[in-house]
Structure formats: C-alpha cells, structure tokens
Structure 1
Amino acid sequence: MDTTTKLTAAAERLFDRHGYTATGMDRLTRAAGMSSRTLYKHAGNKAQLMARVLAARDRRFMARIEVESVDALFAVLEDWVRDEGVRGCLFLRSLAETGGDTPEIAGAVARHKAAFHQRVGGIVGADLGHDDPALTEQVLVLFEGATHAAIYRGAGSVSAARAAAATLMALART
C-alpha cells in the first residue's frame, strides 16, 4: 500500500470515528505511522485530506450501490450499516462540523450528493421502467433518514425504511 493510500485509509477511520474537528494532525500522524512532514507532503492540509477521504468513500459507496432495484439499494444500506457501523453519513457530518465554510469539504459533499441523487433516480427508473422524480426524492429521503435514524434507533431503522420503500414502489406500480 502506498503512502497516500495508507494515509487516506487511516484518516477515514479517524474522521469517521471521531469527526473532522476532533481529529488533529498529531492523531493522524500516529495512526498513519508517519512523521508530520510526510503527512503534510502527502495530504496537504487537513481540509484537503478530508476531501481526499470523502472522494475515496464516495468511490467505495457508489460502487456498492450499483444495483437495479430499490429493494437492493436498501439491502446494500443494511450491509453497509453492518460493515461500517451506525454513525450516519460521513459526508453530512463533515459538512455540519465545518458549517459549509470549508470549500474542499463542501465541494466533495455537493459532488457526492448530486451523484447519489442521480444514482437513486437511475435505480428507481430501472425498477419502475420509467423515471419518477417525485418517487426518487421519496426514496432518497427514506435512505438518508434511515442512515441517520440508525444512529439512535439502531440498524432496524434501515429495515423499516426498506419496508416503506417497498410500499411506495408497489403503489407506484399500480
């Protein structure tokens, strides 16, 4: 594993577990097993590192949601929550922590959420056989809501959202 990949992986674990603000560069250097000079050489500043982490997370998440049905989309979320834990969306948490005032982070979040919206629209369209922007928005809100509700209600929130999405899809087919 090259230095940049190692640093990005260590930073993702820390940012996801402790948040952007609470994760200092000293903690990052220890976790990555490198000097601060090496860290800054490969990461730039903390905001640039977070943007790199978000880009890597985006690639991993979007690859997992290459599905053709809304039910499969929620099945992926159930797997994601089981594998990654129930801490909510790292994109929205980092945006909230920075108040949208850090351009690198705000840009990464905006790109991810736009691509996610487009992907959900494609999944809804593939499942129904035609585009349905209103249903896309409903499924997206259920997905995002389940991701955050799982923090305090547990992973069962995702199952509840999956059932609600199935009801919406059945109604759309009638």
Structure 2
Amino acid sequence: MDITIKLITAAEQLFDGHGYMATGMDRLTEAAGISSRTLYKHAGSKSALMAAVLTERDRRFMRQIDVLSVDALFAALEDWIRIEGARGCLFLRARAETGGETPEIAEAVSAHKSAFRDRISDIVAADIGDADPDLSEQILVLFEGATHAAVYRDGAAIEAARAAASVLVEKTRS
C-alpha cells in the first residue's frame, strides 16, 4: 500500500475516533507504522494531514451520495452510518475543534460543504424535475441534523428525517 494512502487511512481513523486535537503526531506515526520523518515528508504538518483526510473523506462521501432522489439520499446516509459509524460530521467536528482558524482545514470544510450543498440541489432537481432552493435547504438541514442526531438516536434519527423529507418532497410535487 502506498505510504500516503496508508497514512491518510490511519489518520482518518484516529481523527474520526478521537478528534483532531487529541490525536498527536506520535499516535499517528504509530498507527501508520512510519517514522515521524516519513510522516512530515508525506503530510507536511498535522493540519495539512487533516486537510488531506477531509479531502479523501469528501471523495468517498460524495460517491456515496451520488443518487437521483431525496429518498435515496437518506438511504445512502443510512448506509454511510452503518459502514462508517455514527459520530457526526467529521468536517464540522474538525472545524469546531480548530475554531475555523486553521486555513487548510477551514478550506477543506468550506469546499466540502459547498459541494455538498450543490449535490443536494442537484438531487432535489432530479427528484422533482426542477430546481427548488428552499426545498434543497430544508433537505440539507434535515440531512445534517440526522447525521448528528444519529450519534445518540442511531437509525431513528435518519428514519425521522427521511419521513420528513418525503412529506416535503410530496408537498412540493402537489
């Protein structure tokens, strides 16, 4: 396995499980099975490594939600949480831990959230046959809320958001 991929994979598990601030460089080198010199050579810094982790996570997440209906969007969230676990949004947790003050992380979060908002808009338009910014915003908020509520409510949060989204989509269609 490529060292960079190995490092990003190990770092994502640690950052996702323990948080950005609680994950030290020693822990990262141990988890990746590399020296600190190799870590810095391939990552540059802890914040650059976190940005690389977020970029990779964005790629996987956006592939997961490459769907054409709002219902399928929430089904994809159910699958994501079943596979990845329910710990809330890593992007928002990283931003909260750094206060939005770490440029590499803030940029990765901003890019993801912008692309995510666009994807939601595309899904809504595909589902109802036309762009609807208000409905897109409502679906976005339901999705984000379900992602975080799943931490303590498991699948029930996603089911509730999915049901609410269904009502909104049907109301828009009629």
> One fold, TM greater than 0.5?
yes
Higher deviation after alignment, 136-145 or 150-159: 150-159
Task: Give SS of 1:130's match.
Answer: coil
Task: Give SS of 1:151's match.
Answer: helix
Within 5 Å, give how 1:21-170 maps onto structure 2: 21-170=21-170
Cα RMSD between the aligned structures?
0.5
Distance 1:83 1:3 in 2: 24
Alpha-carbon distance, 1:152 to partner:
1.6
Tell me if the contact between 1:11 and 1:28 (Cα under 8 Å) persists in the aligned partners.
yes
Distance 2:154 2:61 in 1: 20
Tell me if the contact between 1:86 and 1:155 (Cα under 8 Å) persists in the aligned partners.
no
Higher deviation after alignment, 67-76 or 151-160: 151-160
Distance 1:156 1:28 in 2: 34
Letter in 2 for 1:102: T
- 1:17-69 deviation per Cα after TM superposition (whole angstroms, max 9, x unaligned): 00000000000000000111111111100000000000000000001111000
Sequence identity percentage? 68
Normalised by the size of structure 2, how large is the TM-score?
Answer: 0.99
Distance 1:103 1:159 in 2: 36
Letter in 2 for 1:64: Q
Distance 1:152 1:65 in 2: 23
- 1:101-159 deviation per Cα after TM superposition (whole angstroms, max 9, x unaligned): 00000000000000000000000000000000000000000000000011122221011
Letter in 2 for 1:163: A
Match of 1:8?
8
Could you list the structure 1 runs, at least 4 aligned residues long, displaced by more than 2 angstroms after superposition.
none
Letter in 2 for 1:170: E
Tell me how many residue pairs correspond in the alignment.
174
Task: Give SS of 2:87's match.
Answer: coil
Tell me if the contact between 1:20 and 1:97 (Cα under 8 Å) persists in the aligned partners.
yes
Gaps of 5+ in 2: none
Match of 2:19?
19
Task: Give SS of 2:29's match.
Answer: helix
Gaps of 5+ in 1: none
